[in-house]
Structure 1
Amino acid sequence: MGEADLVKSRRALLLIDFINPLDFPEAGALAEPALEAARACRHLARAARSRGIPVIYANDNFGRWQSDFPTLVQRLGRRQDTSASIVRLLRPQRGDLTVLKPMHSAFFGTPLDIILDQIGARSVVLAGLATDICVQLTAADAFLRGLKVHVPEDCTAAELPQKKAIALAYMRDILKCDTRPWRSLRWHRDPRTAGT
């Protein structure tokens, strides 16, 4: 896919680390909130796609520099656990984009800056795991780049409710993010704003 193939849009939706084996020590505390966030995010992603807003998966490489995102989606989808349930809710669709991130922020060490520039995005909607780590650090990097940032509180998850609340407050107060639920997005309410 070249630059000419990218959909132009002033907005982009980033789905951060939803496609995840959840096999780290704290995953038990994150699994149920992650599934709840994925259920809300399924509607958000559908709304974005229906309005021509690009959906970008920003996923950890889990320390594997030969990671294959489609294979990871297939492998997790065959399991009988929370990871598989999330994949079924948020399976990538034709035309969605993927960046492989080596660290917490979706911007660090990835082509995300280039993609957003080629799309023409001026604002990003961030959803995913975990609110207080990868989502918050991605929001900080987006803020530093002058992007308008929306982090719908119902489309992110953390291991503890307190961690999520503190992170959302920081993003709202310091990073000037809009943290209202996804249904508050103006383009959700008004289909005439697609791609704007």
Structure 2
Amino acid sequence: MASTAGIRNGDHQRTALLVVDMINPLDFEGGEALMPHAEAAARAIAALARRARGRGEPVVYVNDNFMRWQADFREIVATVRDGTRGSGLAGELAPVEGDYFVLKPKHSGFLATPLEILLEKLDVGRLVVTGVATDGCILATATDAHMREYAVQVPPDCVAAQSEARSRRAVELMRDSMGIDVRPSREAFAEG
């Protein structure tokens, strides 16, 4: 099993919370099945975001642009909050002043985005990756973070897929093949 320490972690002291695709209309095939799992994850992510902010650590929303190429993140939040299936998630996880935003065109938060540059500027060496879907965008983002030698944690209570089985398989894959830390969210941003 690979080490979870991450080479970057030695030089970079901060931990960032990545909130992946939780500002989401869930209007796609499978969105209805994802919804109850995403709601449970949203509650845990909201608590984790409060803890991260309280410690002065960055919270970065890494979100699909839903093919709205001329929209910025705040427009996407407003659109999702306006009567979509995912409006409750957007309300639960509303960004606050001081949070960061990266729009992504594909599954990984790193592919064709400025995420890596932002994390470098923020002195981040460790990532806590949360959001949806565990077996899609979370897996892709965590894999790319691992390949870039970040220390990565994916708390199982802060990710969701269309079924618990799909989410569990993806978490186990990340743990077993890349050595990604899969401790629960109560162990992220803990004192000490």
What TM-score results when the alignment is normalised by the length of structure 1? 0.89
Contact 1:153–1:179 at 8 Å: present in 2 too? yes
Cα offset for 1:67?
2.0
Cα offset for 1:35?
0.7
Contact 2:27–2:85 at 8 Å: present in 1 too? no
Kindly indicate whether residue 125 of structure 2 is the aligned counterpart of residue 122 of structure 1: yes
Contact 2:45–2:158 at 8 Å: present in 1 too? yes
Contact 1:9–1:53 at 8 Å: present in 2 too? no
Q: Deviations over 1:8-62 (max 9, x none)?
A: 9511010000000100011011011001100111100000000001000000011
How many pairs were matched up?
181
Kindly indicate whether residue 174 of structure 2 is the aligned counterpart of residue 181 of structure 1: no
Where does structure 1 differ by over 6 angstroms across 4 or more consecutive aligned residues?
none
Pairwise CA RMSD of aligned residues? 1.3
Q: Which residue of 1 aligns with 2:25?
A: 21
Cα offset for 1:75?
2.5
Structure 1 unaligned residues grouped into runs of 5+: 1-7
Cα offset for 1:77?
2.0
Distance 2:85 2:59 in 1: 22
Q: Deviations over 1:97-117 (max 9, x none)?
A: 000100000000000010011
Percent of aligned pairs sharing the same letter: 44
1:124 is paired with a residue whose SS is strand
Q: Look up the equivalent residue of 2:71 and give its one-letter code.
A: S
Kindly indicate whether residue 128 of structure 2 is the aligned counterpart of residue 132 of structure 1: no
Contact 2:20–2:137 at 8 Å: present in 1 too? yes
Distance 1:77 1:62 in 2: 14
Distance 1:169 1:82 in 2: 29
Cα offset for 1:178?
1.0
Structure 2 unaligned residues grouped into runs of 5+: 1-11
2:88 is paired with a residue whose SS is helix
Contact 2:65–2:76 at 8 Å: present in 1 too? no
Compared with structure 1, are the counterparts of its residues 9 and 73 closer, same or farther at alpha carbon in structure 2 (3 Å cutoff)?
farther
Kindly indicate whether residue 2 of structure 2 is the aligned counterpart of residue 10 of structure 1: no
Q: Deviations over 1:94-141 (max 9, x none)?
A: 010000100000000000010011111111000000000000010000
Q: Where do residues 67-82 of structure 1 align in structure 2 (5 Å cutoff)?
A: 67-79=71-83, 82=85
Distance 1:129 1:19 in 2: 10
Q: Which residue of 1 aligns with 2:52?
A: 48
Q: 2:89 aligns with which of 68, 86, 90?
A: 86
What TM-score results when the alignment is normalised by the length of structure 2? 0.90
Q: Which residue of 1 aligns with 2:3?
A: none
Cα offset for 1:71?
1.6
Q: Which residue of 2 aligns with 1:143?
A: 146
Compared with structure 1, are the counterparts of its residues 78 and 107 closer, same or farther at alpha carbon in structure 2 (3 Å cutoff)?
same
Q: 1:32 aligns with which of 36, 52, 55?
A: 36
Q: Look up the equivalent residue of 1:180 and give its one-letter code.
A: R
1:128 is paired with a residue whose SS is strand
Cα offset for 1:90?
0.5
Higher relative contact order (CA 8 A, sep 6+): 2
Q: Which residue of 2 aligns with 1:63?
A: 67
